[in-house]
Structures are given as structure tokens and as C-alpha cells.
Amino acid sequence: MSSTPEQAKNKALTFRKFKDGDSNVHWNEWIFDADHSHKCPEYVLSSPPCQASCPAGEDIRGYLNIVRGIEKPPVGMTWQEYAFRRLTEANPFPSVMGRVCPAPCESGCNRNEVEDHVGINSVEHFIGDWAIQNNLKYASTAQPSGKKVAIIGGGPAGLAAAYQLALKGHACTIFDEHELLGGMMRYGIPGFRTPREVLDGEIQRILDLGVETRMKTRVGSDVSFEELEKNYDAIFMSMGAQSGRPLPVAGAEAPNCVTAMAFLRAFNDGRLKHVGKKVVVIGGGDTSIDVATVARRLGNITNINPDKQRPEHVIAGQIAHDVADISARQGAEVVLVSRATMDKMNANKHEIEHALQEGIEIIGGVTPVAVVLGPDGRATALRVAEFEMVKGETVLKPGTERDLPADLVVSAIGQAVDFTGLEAFNNNKGLIKPDGHYRFPGKPHIFVGGDVIRPHLLTTAIGHASIAADGIDAFLGGHTELDKRPKVDAHRFDLLRKLVESGHPVEEYNHKQSWGTNSAKYAVHNYEDRSAKYVIPADELFLGHFPFVERHQRETMALNAEQALGNFEERLHALSEKQVIDEAKRCMSCGLCFECDNCVVYCPQTAVFRVKKSEVTTGRYVDTDYTKCIGCHICADVCPTGYIQMGMGE
């Protein structure tokens, strides 16, 4: 009888440590000689790959264990708030990042070796929205330091730095040339991906810590950098890369050939209401998808004044559309061109799929050759051709050139930093190159973060800010020489903090040598924290413990070409509370005990035992009686999370 596709799928997912026909399994050497083994179990905290993959350094395993009920919140606090507090130690924007982050944490998730990754973004999305709905605030317990920090740029890096520094007791002032805070979160990402009420709510929580702002103030022109150095104890530079890169081809100077950043800025400002009938976007990353989907939604207005209502005039800031609502709206024909083939584009795969559903044509594997100009100097088409790379050079394939008609050409090929007034910090490549602490070389009071280092993810900017804030705090405390950052530079579970929180403080060590103990209060018995240097791989887990459990996926509003026109509603819908808890339960808690009892059940000597209820806490659920342990390592072999490792006496 043939198997069904689902049966075949489950069969393929069945984990087996040994396969049929394995002949090199020497049981006598492994178990039956274990009575004289020198190895006994250690409880080793390691970093899970999700956290090591998170640019913001979130304690992902920590808040997933809180959501699932493994780690209990303090008395009087809900699990939702406790998870929010743990998550926002690293990232003050869970609601925004839960929507727009491409989630490298999910790509690194060890659960991919079983069936599918844990929906980490989905859980973050829920926690962030719950916090906004329940009006959660941040609170600093630090004493005011009397130190002042100037922050240049109010995007994700600048805001995250202000948040971290305010929690450390330092006064912060953000200088930003825009009318509103948010940077790329506001001016680079359309509102149907990041609802503005969500963004505003998460920004306001930071301002409520006492962070001051000076908006519409550009450092380098409205206020000099020297003035900041005179009035502030430290400076954090996070200007962002909000200038787009124009196409490096002939004809790109046409007025209707614009950059993606200018296009999105005009749209997010509310000035741009329609585009031309034919729009060509050049890119391949998430920004190009954002431009294409916005253009599709805006559509084309048939009755316009060609001299005043053309999109390029609006994008250049000369006028604002004000006739869109009374004119006939039609769908714009949008074409996205990429040098990469569609399967190798940098944009999120699901965003590419949505763009195709909305009627956007994607042409991969071609390169722009020229912008074709009409008699009036405006672009009428983008000329592209197929190519191949020969010794790092682009070589066009003869006979493959073709023209793509265009009323508007949008370049989404990269971003640049505007160093006007700050030229001394430009490394001649349009960026700033700091040291490993994100400090500007030779300037111990100046730190850097975000796209000004390297245009990348929003979460990358948030991670820069967290590390830079530690450096600024150390500098303000009088430490000009900064300690080396850990190899795995992320926020992580802290057993000592958990013991204190749960009323089990560790006593001072008596400095007397002993053979080891499971009862002394000056140490956690045989516990080692390797999380700052070691990421635990899937092959150190007992994957056979985990059955097939299908991932809960958020619903995304799917639109066709007609439905997309004029539709600016949020597309991504949050999971329910039950779904979020179920999803968190799929986390394998790599590198930290999740209280499954396998080691207690399978220990043949009853050497492994549960810690007394009066003393138990997360990470200290089981213990070992070494007078009974024979070193058979069965406990380590059946530990699903790899928390138990054989190492005593090595």
C-alpha cells in the first residue's frame, strides 16, 4: 500500500540517532563499561542559535520559555508583561520588529532540523501589541548620573541608544532633521507594514523616560558638531542612510528618475497620492518591494495637470498632490527589475510572493543599461539587458537589450549617508568605520551605530545601539579602556538574577576546597555558563524527543492586482494568545533545561533527582548525587536541550 504525502512527510521527519545497518555502535564500550568512567554530568548553559543570529541580541529562548510557562514571572506580574520586560532588555521595538524584521533568528533555529522553525516573529508581534494595548511603560531604577549624551539621528539606532542610556541614568537629547522621530521605520517603510499608531506608541515609551528631542535640527548646519562636543559629555552618531543612490547609467539625471528613499519619503509624508501609468523599479531587496507595492496601491490618476501634478514634482518636494480623491484612479503597471534572478533576490520570499499576487511583474537576471529620454528630457523607458560576470566585470549579452516603458523610474539600488557638515567622519566610502565597541577611532567620547556603519537591518541598528550604550556608559564612568566584548554578544538568561528574583540568593563562597556539593548555598551545583562563547548546534540535542508539530503561521491579507489598488490596511494579522503559547511550546530551549524529566526517568542509578520545590528555579530543576552516579551518560544522551553534558574530570 502506498503512503500518503503526509505519511511520507512524517516518516521523513522521524529522528533516529542510529540508522538500520549501523555496525559501529559499540554498546559495551559506551554503557556497560561506564561503571569506571571519569565523566559525570555538568549543567551547561549555552547560547541557542536563534539568539546568536539575532542582530539585536534578544534573549529569545528566555521570553519563549516565559510564554510557554517554563520560567515563571515574579509574584503579581503577568506572563505577558514578564515576557515583554525580558524581550525589551535588548529591543525596545517588539511590535515593529515583530512585523518587519526578516527574522534571521528563524533561519538559525535548530527546530528546522525537526520540521520547521519556531515562529519567533509571531510571538514578538503578539507581545509587542499586548504591551501597547495594556499601556506598559519603561521604568529606570538607575540614579541620575549627571552626564549628558547627544544623539544625532532619531531612527532605530538613535532611539534604541537613548532608551538604553536612559535606563543607565544618563540624560539624552536626540537631534533629528525630520519633523517626526522614527527614521527608516517611519520614512522608509510604508504604513501598511508598520502601522503608525504602533510605531508612535513604541517611540513614546522611550520619550517617557525623560529623553529630550530637538526636531527639525540638522547637526552640521543648524547646530555645529563642535557645539555638541562643548555641551555634552558623549555623542552617539546614528544619522542613518536616508539618501538613495541614483542609477549609475546615462540618462539617470531625468527628473522622473528618482531614488527609492525620496519616493518612500514623499509617500510616508502623505504628499504622494499617485504615480504614472507605468513605473519601473530597479533593485531586488526589501526596499524595492516596498516601492513596487506602494506604487501598485497608489495607482495612476487619469485627470491631472501634467505640469503640476507629475509625481517627480511631489517627490522633489515642490508640491503635494491634492486632486487624487476627485480624479479617476486606475492601477499602475509596475515592473521590478533585478540583477539577481528571482530565486536569489535579497528580498523576503513571502514579500516577493505578495508582490506577484498584487500584479507586479518581476524581471530578474538583467541589468540597467540606460535611461531612455524623450524630447522634453523626461525618462520614457529603462533599457535593460542580460549579462554575465567575467572576472568581476559586467559583460552584456549581445542582442538581449530591451526597453521597459516608464513614466517613473525608481532606483532602489542602495542607500547613502549625507555627511554635509560632518565631512570629517566620512571614510571616503560614504560611511563611518568604528572599532569593535562602535567607538570612533581616536575619539573616546564619540560612538557610532546604525546604517552609518553599514546599511543593514533595523534590528542590526538596534544591536549597534545596545553595544555602543555599554561603551558610552563605561566611558562616562571613567573607563577609557573598554573590555573585550563576548564572542556571542547577546542578552541571555542569567541564573544568578533568577535565583535572587525567586528568593534563593547565592551566599558568599567560603573559599574552602571540597570535592563538590549539591547542598552548599555559595554555588549552583556543577553549573557552568558558556553562553558568552558557545552556540549549541542541533547535533548536541536529543532531537528524537520532539514530535512533528506544525507551525502556526500568521494570516496575511492576500490581494490581487485590483484589490491592492488604494488598499493601505495592515496586511499581517497577529496570532491569538493560544496560538502564541502553542508556538512557544515548539521551542526546544536549546542549551537550557525545560523540565522534561527525561534525565530523572532514564537514570539507571537514580542519581539524577529533582531539586526540592522550595529551592527550584529555572535552570536549577534537576541535580546529581555523585555518590550514585556511575558516569553512564544516559542523562546527557536523552537531554533534549543539550543542557546536560559529560565533562567532570576531563
Q: Which of 363, 355, 364, 362 is nearest to 296 (CA)?
A: 355
Is the Cβ–Cβ distance between 190 and 293 less than 8 Å?
A: yes
Q: What whole-number distance in Å separates Cα of residue 140 and Cα of residue 135?
A: 16
Among 478, 535, 614, CA closest to 61: 535
Tell me the one-letter amino acid at 105. C
CA dihedral for 154, 155, 157, 161, sign (positive or negative): positive
Q: What are the structural domains, with CATH classification, of the chain?
A: 148-241+417-476 (3.50.50.60), 245-413 (3.50.50.60)
Per residue, the 3-state secondary structure of 274-310, as one string, reads CECCEEEEEECCHHHHHHHHHHHHHCEECCCCCCCCC
Instruction: Tell me how far apart the alpha carbons of residues 552 and 119 are, in angstroms, rounded to a whole number.
Output: 7
Task: Specify the pTM.
Answer: 0.89
Q: pLDDT by residue (tens digit) across 124-179?
A: 999 999 999 999 999 888 999 999 999 999 999 999 999 999 999 999 999 999 99
Per-residue pLDDT at 4: 44
- The contacts of residue 146 (CB under 8 Å, 6+ apart) are none
The dihedral over CA atoms of 237, 266, 369, 390, expressed in degrees to the nearest 10, equals 30
Residue 182: per-residue pLDDT: 96
Instruction: Please report the pLDDT score of residue 5 as a whole number.
Output: 44
Give per-residue pLDDT as tens, 408-466.
999 999 888 989 999 999 987 889 999 989 999 999 999 999 999 988 899 999 999 99
What cell numbers appear for 66 in the block? 516565559
| Predicted local distance difference test score (pLDDT) of residue 324 | 46
Residues of the chain with pLDDT under 70: 1-38, 302-309, 313-314, 316-329, 513-518, 648-650
Are 272 and 321 a contacting pair, CB within 8 Å? yes
Residues in the chain, total: 650
User: Rounded distance, CA 130 to CA 289, Å?
Assistant: 29
Task: Please give the Cα distance from 71 to 498 (Å, whole number).
Answer: 9
Three cell numbers written together for 565: 489598488
Cα 319 to its chain centre, rounded Å, is 36
